[in-house]
Amino acid sequence: MCSNDVIVSVQHVSKAFGKQEVLNDISLDIYKGEIFGLLGPSGAGKTTLVKMLTGLDVSNSGENFLFQEKMPSLKLIERMGYMAQSDALYGELTAKENLEFFGALFGLKGKPLQHRIGKVMDVVELSEHLHKTVHHYSGGMKRRLSLAIALLHEPELLILDEPTVGIDPVLRKSIWDAFYDLNEKGTTIIVTTHVMGEAEKCHRLAMIRSGGVIAVGTPEELKERTNSSSIEEAFLVYGGVKA
């Protein structure tokens, strides 16, 4: 792929909180039209990295670019959707009211907004709970509503931090089907995960351990290079856990 296809570029990024180094000299290019996975255990630095990509945090050194523009940049907000690990929802409002509030932030209103609300609630299979207050939602339902909000304005780039945590396997499959559908329509997706099965669903992966990238490639490439039968086994090899 040519450089014009690079939608996200992470260039020698490091980040520390006090004396604790969270990211160490990370460099990555993510291409338009990819489903790109950031795979690693809890504490590896995945969330810190995606927060920097969305402009919610800044690096101590190095630079992040989205759409060839340096982050943070307010004007790029409308071109991306972000689903954080923790749900930023208003519990006293209904799901519909939450969606209308966040939709308005992106300039959506009237019939187009109501149409999008219907579409995204279908995707996450919450249509029948549209008028229920979020306070009465289960944890898994709140994750699904957060995903619906991230999809609301049809972003070019979707950044999802552990999007299926707490979601049952059947619904997880339908959500991944929705990711593939969005991707086929041109949406680039970045997803963080520690679930090896989800990593297999990505077009390419960056394996992250202790704040550093230990390998990048397609799932098949990563397995072939390490003579592994699974992504989990390949991760252990790259991480130096297995000879």
How many whole angstroms separate alpha carbon 15 and alpha carbon 20? 9
Task: Indicate the average pLDDT of the chain.
Answer: 92
How many whole angstroms separate alpha carbon 117 and alpha carbon 103? 9
* Partners of residue 26 on adjacent β-strands: 13
| pLDDT tens sequence across 199-219 | 999 999 999 999 999 999 999
> Residue 212 has what pLDDT?
95
pTM of the model as a whole: 0.90
Residue 116 falls inside a structural domain? yes
> Given phi > 0 = left and psi -120 to 50 = alpha, else beta, which region is 68?
left
| pLDDT tens sequence across 105-117 | 888 999 999 999 9
What are the mean pLDDT values of the chain's consecutive 10-residue runs (243 residues total)? 77 95 96 96 93 93 94 87 89 96 92 95 93 93 91 93 84 86 93 92 96 96 95 92 53
Which residue segment(s) compose the domain that 91 sits in?
3-238
How many whole angstroms separate alpha carbon 57 and alpha carbon 47? 10
Spatial CA neighbour of 153 closest among 189, 100, 200, 198? 100
Residue 25 falls inside a structural domain? yes
Peptide bond before 155: cis, by omega within 30 degrees of 0?
Answer: no
Which backbone phi and psi does 214 adopt, to 5 degrees?
-100, -15
Spatial CA neighbour of 60 closest among 9, 24, 7, 8? 24
Residue 209 falls inside a structural domain? yes
> Residue 129 has what pLDDT?
97
* Residue 137: strand, helix, or coil: coil
How many whole angstroms separate alpha carbon 10 and alpha carbon 208? 14
Structure tokens at 227: 């003579």
Q: How many domains does the chain have?
A: 1
Give the DSSP H/E element, type plus range, for residue 214.
strand 212-217
> Residue 4 has what pLDDT?
62
48-74 burial: b if 16+ Cβ within 10 Å, else e: bbbbbbbbebebeebebbbbeeebbee
What are the C-alpha distances in Å from 89 to residues 11, 93, 102, 133? 33, 9, 10, 11
Structure tokens at 136: 């009465």
Residue located via tokens 């990238």: 213
Are 153 and 81 in contact by the 8 Å Cβ rule? The answer is yes
> Residue 75 has what pLDDT?
85
The single-letter DSSP state of residue 22 is E
Residue 243 falls inside a structural domain? no
Residue 66 falls inside a structural domain? yes
Residue 75 falls inside a structural domain? yes
> Residue 137 has what pLDDT?
94
> Residue 241 has what pLDDT?
66
> Residue 239 has what pLDDT?
86
The single-letter DSSP state of residue 221 is H
What are the C-alpha distances in Å from 204 to residues 46, 68, 199, 201, 232? 15, 20, 9, 9, 15
CATH number of residue 168's parent domain:
3.40.50.300
